Copies of this chain bind each other. A is one copy, B any other.
């Protein structure tokens, strides 16, 4: 009875928000934006559906916030890897990082496909993200070419588009079968490009 709804159930604002985003990451990643209801998420958080919507204006807002949170979380690791390692080593490191974060990977695999539809709430998010990530990787490839780590017959844009595609595709096979070793396949492909 002491757990009856009351003012005492309140949590510090930031903490509750973070908790919601973690639950949403897992649930949107499982069933997609359309496959989960706000009530489902609220139930797992332990509040009511209107209680949930108090923190995010709408379901769409919650999805975008969930996607942006993951990018913010991983950006530190990625920037460091691309600054301190060659393109190939940084990408292999990112792959291992991903294998330690299945919920985030699942969210991205599911939402990037669901958002192919022009009207989807995350459509523009992924469009611009692909452009940006391809440019980041291509830039690091150019630097490796100048440093003599990669041959000049590589077209940076093609290499970049290809690794991103490769990693995206491997993630799907890994999510379907967690014993599948993404990093060994990625390594076998990337080693073919070394000078």
| Chain A residues in the interface with B (C-beta under 8 A) | 30-32, 34-35, 106, 109-110, 112-114, 116-117, 120, 126-127, 130, 154-155, 158-159, 161-162, 164-170, 172-173, 175-177, 180, 184-186, 188-189, 192-193
Contact = CB atoms under 8 A, between A and B. Distances in A.
A11 to B, nearest CB: 29
A166 B162 contact: yes
A163 to B, nearest CB: 9
27 contacts: A30-B116, A31-B117, A32-B32, A32-B34, A32-B113, A32-B114, A109-B116, A112-B172, A113-B113, A113-B172, A126-B176, A127-B177, A130-B177, A158-B184, A158-B185, A161-B170, A161-B180, A162-B186, A164-B169, A165-B165, A165-B167, A165-B170, A165-B172, A165-B185, A166-B189, A168-B172, A192-B192
Tell me what chain A mostly uses at the interface: helix, strand, loop, or mixed. Answer: helix
Contacts of A112: 113, 172
Nearest to A123: B176
B116 A175 contact: yes
Contacts of A180: 161
A81 B186 CA distance: 26
A40 to B, nearest CB: 13
